[in-house]
Amino acid sequence: MRVSEGRVTVTVPEQPEAGKGADVFFNPVQELNRDITVAALRAYRERTPRVSTYLDATAASGIRGVRAAANDWETTLCDIDDDATALCEQNLERNDLAASVRRSDANVLMHSEAFDVVDVDPFGTPIPFADAAVQGTKHLLCVTATDTAPLCGAHFESGVRSYGAVPRNTEFHAEMGMRVLLSAMVRTAARYDIAARPILSHATKHYARTYLEFDHGAKVANDCIDELGYVHHCQHCLWRDHDYGLIADPPEDCPVCDKHLQTAGPIWLGRTCEPAFADAVSEQVTEEMGTADEARELLATLSEEIDTPTHYDQHRLCKRWGRGAEAMDEFIEKLRDTGYEASRTHYGGTTFKTDADVVEIREATAE
Ligand code: SAM
């Protein structure tokens, strides 16, 4: 099967259901993820002109690395599987591109060599690659996680085991997953006196993706750790709050309805995205990308998202309150008119962020 993405055309095996059992894995649904990766690589090179080397650590067909090579990155493609690396070679040749192909365990490679940018896009959780990836990255670590059920607390024990944090299955589950992933990556980097700060992150129901910029030093790593903390959440009235620090300090019960609160953490409470970088990435989305419109729309929403650690869903709130939902723009305008900050989020069409709490939202948006 031939697939064209961006400037390249690659061959990938026909994929049985959900890619399971294929000789080499390929997921067409990840085209948006790959288009944004290419745009992010272009924007990152403008931001940090000295970067030149890119490792596609779990390459499969090589489509990500081939696209990086087509954008003039000095690229290395790595996969543990013989069929995958053979296909990477063919796909480079087909596009008349040169890159280094390694049949290796990515952990071994990343422990022995460092690259300006490392991309870890594995099956499921990236955690088995996290320590080596931190050591093998000089500037930017790009990570995908597709194990959304453990990340967001739907598979609680698995989430605790993989990420060393308590995830909770809340109505802001995709953001919970993103912040659990970021917490684990930040704590991994901190072990090596590295601050890993997300400059771009996006989540869908299928995966979480983040781009972490590195800064070296114990002091900056401590500053990053200071942005970890806990979210306390009421399943009944949907009130929530957060506190910073590695020791959870939850209120005893929900201050609004007196019901039991659930606590999740330590999660990343800091920014998940730099608005200026999201704008710079958007400028690098070009027409040859199959998901250009979707990518630009996503990046615009990311750039506008206000900086709070959880989001709400208007429909869920209105259902709780026994009233009808309304157009998102009007709903957000009511919050702003009352003096609160408010924005849509990329987590869903009816989601929003605000600095108002759940009682204030209800009052501000009443008829
Ligand atoms: N990045 C690819 C893309 O955009 O199409 C998809 C990668 S696929 C989800 C994961 C790949 O990781 C598989 O090809 C698998 O063989 C490879 N893999 C699994 N364990 C590995 C390891 N320890 N080192 C290197 N590659 C590994």
Q: Is 84 in the pocket of ligand 1 (CB under 6 A)?
A: yes
What are 227-268's pLDDT values in tens digits? 999 999 999 999 999 999 999 888 989 999 999 999 999 999
Measure 166 CA to ligand 1 centroid, in angstroms. 27
As a whole number of angstroms, the distance between CA 274 and CA 108 comes to: 32
Beta bridge partners of 55: 76, 118
Beta bridge partners of 140: 117, 213
Measure 55 CA to ligand 1 centroid, in angstroms. 12
Q: Is 83 in the pocket of ligand 1 (CB under 6 A)?
A: no
What are 37-58's pLDDT values in tens digits? 999 999 999 999 999 999 999 9
Identical fold between 2-304 and 312-364: no
Q: Is 79 in the pocket of ligand 1 (CB under 6 A)?
A: yes
Average pLDDT of the chain to the nearest whole number: 96
Q: Percent of the chain scored above 90 by pLDDT?
A: 95
Q: Is 196 in the pocket of ligand 1 (CB under 6 A)?
A: no
CATH superfamily, domain 2-304, is: Vaccinia Virus protein VP39 (3.40.50.150)
What are 111-126's pLDDT values in tens digits? 999 999 999 999 999 9
Classify the complex by whether its ipTM is higher than 0.95, answering yes or no.
yes
- Got the DSSP string for 42-66? HHHHHHSTT--EEEETT-TT-HHHH
Report residue 194 CA to chain centroid gap: 19
Which of 56, 58, 91 best tests ligand 1's pocket when mutated (most atoms within 8 Å of CB)?
58
pLDDT for 354 equals 98
Across the beta sheet with 342-344, the strand order is 312-313, 351-354, 342-344
As a whole number of angstroms, the distance between CA 3 and CA 326 comes to: 41
Measure 38 CA to ligand 1 centroid, in angstroms. 18
Helix or strand (DSSP H, E) at 333: helix 328-337
CB 57 within 8 A of CB 37: no
- Residue predicted with more confidence, 204 or 107: 107
Residue 20 confidence (pLDDT) above 80: no
Domain boundaries, the chain: 2-304, 312-364
pLDDT for 19 equals 52
Going by C-beta distance under 8 Å and a sequence separation of 6 or more, which residues neighbour residue 152?
159, 167, 169, 170, 173, 174, 176, 177, 180
Going by C-beta distance under 8 Å and a sequence separation of 6 or more, which residues neighbour residue 240?
170, 231, 232, 233, 234, 310, 358
In CATH, what number does 312-364 get? 3.30.56.70
pLDDT for 367 equals 73
